[in-house]
A and B are shown apart, each in its own frame.
Chain A
Amino acid sequence: MVCPEGRREMNSRELKTMITDWRVATLLILIVLSIIAIYPHIDQQGNLASNLQYGLDLQQGAWLQLDIQAEVVGYTTDRPLSEFLTNLSTNLDAEVLQVDANHLEIQKYYSQADLEPRFVAAGGQLTSYQQGVSKTTADSVKRILENKINSLGTKDAKVNTLTGLNNVARYIRVELAGVDMNQAQELVGKQGKFEIRIQTTGNQTEHVLSGDAITSVQVPSQEPPGSNNWGVGFTLSESGAEAFRTAAIQYGATVDPSKHNLIMLLDNETVYSAPLSNDLAGKVQSENIRQLFASTGAGDYGTQQATNLEIHLRAGALPVEVTIAGSGGVSAPLGERYKQMALLAGILALVTVGFVIYYRYREPYIVLPMVLINASEIIILLGFISLIRFQMDLPTIAGLIAVLGTGIDQLVVITDEILHEGKVPSPNLYIKRLARALSIIVVAAATVVIAMVPLALMDLSTLKGFAIITILGVLVGVIVTRPAYGKIIMQILSR
């Protein structure tokens, strides 16, 4: 190592001044906090473990993209709204909900061309068409799916609705760790659509309510207790109870229950069919009933039927139909392999970057802080990733490696700017030059952030996370590590 004249080892006092500088102190504190957040440790099996969460391409797991078979449409009508909605609902044989003053949600798939004449027939006009559901419905689909997956004891499930800029959600992404794709499809893909219909005349039936009107389902029980007469109790929402009562009265089920069975359908297949009890028929005539009990019979047969019905009532409770738009899965060995490769790529990238820097400056006093600052940036990012429990996937790792490469760029800008004309500047000049370097860096950082913002805002499946991490990486660099590096390099150069 060649030491320029007059240069000596840093003494402890200088070191202390440097560490107590607020920029350097912030960096050090963040590094410590990040390592705590990452929490690298040896787990009970003796493997190295950490708080880092991995995405589905780095561990065994499967994902499914569900396509919602429903649409949100714009409309106008000159009829009274409730009349128009009833007409439409009957015509379409589907639940029609009002989203806002100008938009309706139709919970069944129709093409735009199919809908237009039906809107005219119901006394209105179709003004816009978008496949998907409103945010509210999307949230309830998400909740139902989560409940269903969790109740089946899956280890780690994530359900995300992909809502577009116009607040219409068309896709739902389900991620399941620890299962393969076929299992995942069985778990989720076979989502049923639950519906209660009422027998009108003969074999004719009419829609009464769909699964989302069922707010809770109880476990199988005997009614009355101890009678060995089994069944499942369930609760309807206020509007569900209203719809139930209206239909029962309208079609005469309250007067002649035996001719007007209530039929429960899952995926258009009858899973339960029975008349109202006389007792219930009487009550429904006079008020909305929210607590219902579907009896399934006596003995073992009754118990078995009740258990099945419970699953149907719960699991089939998606208000809209879904199809599988995409799916995928990574096996455990492949995920492990990808993880190792990603780690190797990261380390190798850091080392090669170090060599390039050394080739340029030939001065360990400059190269070492640069590489360490670079590595600290990655540690802080990983700490943040652990903290927000963000799932790292392969594109994110590519983003991290790119942050590594460009992070050092900016350190080069600072170093060259300060070392301009090969002379170590006076403190005043140093401040001026650092400011100039930072102004270049801020513009460069701003372009990266701006370039990534569209991706971070759009629900473009896996790339959202990648964009967020890249933006964070740039921000950490500009706000924390560059200013700290400016201070450190000044301290080192001015010796």
Chain B
Amino acid sequence: MGLVNYNIEKYSPKQLVIIPLALLAISIVMLGFTTLSTGMPLTPGIDFSGGTAVTIFSADSREQIQTTFSGYPLIDVSEGVNGGKFLKFGSMDDTRYKDLSALIYQKYPDASINQIGETFGKTLQSQAVLAMVFSFIGMAIVIFISFRTFVPSVAVVLSAFADMAMTAATMNIIGIPLSLGTVAALLMLIGYSVDSDILLTNRVLKRQGKLNDKLAGAFRTGIIMTSTTLAAVAAMLVVSWIGSVQILTEISAVLLIGLLFDVMNTWLTNVGILKWYVLKGGGK
């Protein structure tokens, strides 16, 4: 029993990797373009750019809210379900911020406010970037140590990189900013996206049998692995979206996108490279 018919025998390695590689190229171009125009591959959220984020639950319309805060640098009002509203303000000096928070508490006593200063945001951002770079390098080292063969290791690391790049590009398209929460999600992705790649490589290189049988067997197990994680993350996404818990919505959305790309990158990119490697005579 399988969720989808995955007929690996029909396709050559080249056919397998062509779609993901094209998508990867498009993603990198998009990220490069965003970097050129904004200086960052991803749009930084309040956590990194500085500013104030406010969550309120209120029946007030967008216009009413805009009027209420007309004296302040209100950048954006977005609406969740159930009357949840997310307000974003740009940076302002301490006294204005104090006035603003007083006004918010007066109008919406149950509000949640988060404010990050510009310099502090920069510090957070540089730390977050460092964390991501170190995570990725660390993951690559673990992979190379455990497989000790060049091509299969590169295949795993490349798939993980493709997961990240495609997820980041998608975040730009659908407007999920880079925040502390989404950095956490991307880091989780670095760790978790290699799960099924490791299974695949292990099965193909360390087991006896026909290549296509091994690939099919790995797929049977691997796709369930990803499905369970997807199920857990989807449950989290639905609940947090309905409940207007913005940080959880963002984290689960990023994980969901990343895991979907991971299915493609594991079973097309990684399998393609691995199949080419084995057919060429590598791995016995």
Contact = CB atoms under 8 A, between A and B. Distances in A.
Interface stretch (A232-240, A278-286, A329-337): A329-337
B105 to A, nearest CB: 6
Nearest to A453: B138
B114 interface: yes
B73 interface: no
Contacts of A451: 135-136, 138-139, 187-188, 190-191
A182 B229 CA distance: 41
B170 interface: no
Interface residues on B, range: 35 or more
B38 interface: no
B142 A458 contact: no
B142 A395 contact: no
A28 interface: no
Interface string A443-468: 11011111111110011111100110
Interface stretch (B12-20, B24-32, B124-132, B267-275): B124-132
Contacts of B62: none
A349 B236 contact: yes
A57 B114 CA distance: 10
Contacts, number: 238
- Find the residue from A344, A353, A402, A440 having the highest chain B CB count within 10 A: A402
A302 interface: no
Interface in B226-259: 226-236, 238-240, 243, 245, 247-248, 251-252, 255
A394 B113 CA distance: 15
B101 A182 contact: yes
B75 interface: no
B115 interface: yes
B72 to A, nearest CB: 16
B180 to A, nearest CB: 6
B263 interface: no
Interface of A: 57, 65, 67, 170-171, 180-182, 185, 323-334, 337-338, 340-342, 344-345, 348-353, 355-357, 360, 394-395, 397-399, 401-402, 404-406, 408-409, 412-413, 416-417, 420, 436, 439-440, 443-444, 446-455, 458-463, 466-467, 470
28 contacts: A65-B117, A325-B117, A326-B121, A328-B113, A329-B113, A334-B111, A334-B112, A341-B245, A344-B239, A352-B232, A356-B227, A357-B224, A402-B229, A404-B232, A409-B195, A412-B224, A416-B221, A439-B202, A443-B146, A444-B194, A447-B138, A450-B191, A451-B135, A453-B134, A455-B184, A455-B187, A458-B130, A460-B131
Given A451-B138, A458-B127, 20 more contacts: A180-B105, A328-B115, A334-B110, A341-B243, A344-B239, A345-B236, A349-B232, A356-B227, A399-B188, A401-B235, A405-B229, A406-B229, A440-B198, A440-B202, A450-B142, A451-B135, A451-B188, A453-B134, A454-B131, A455-B187
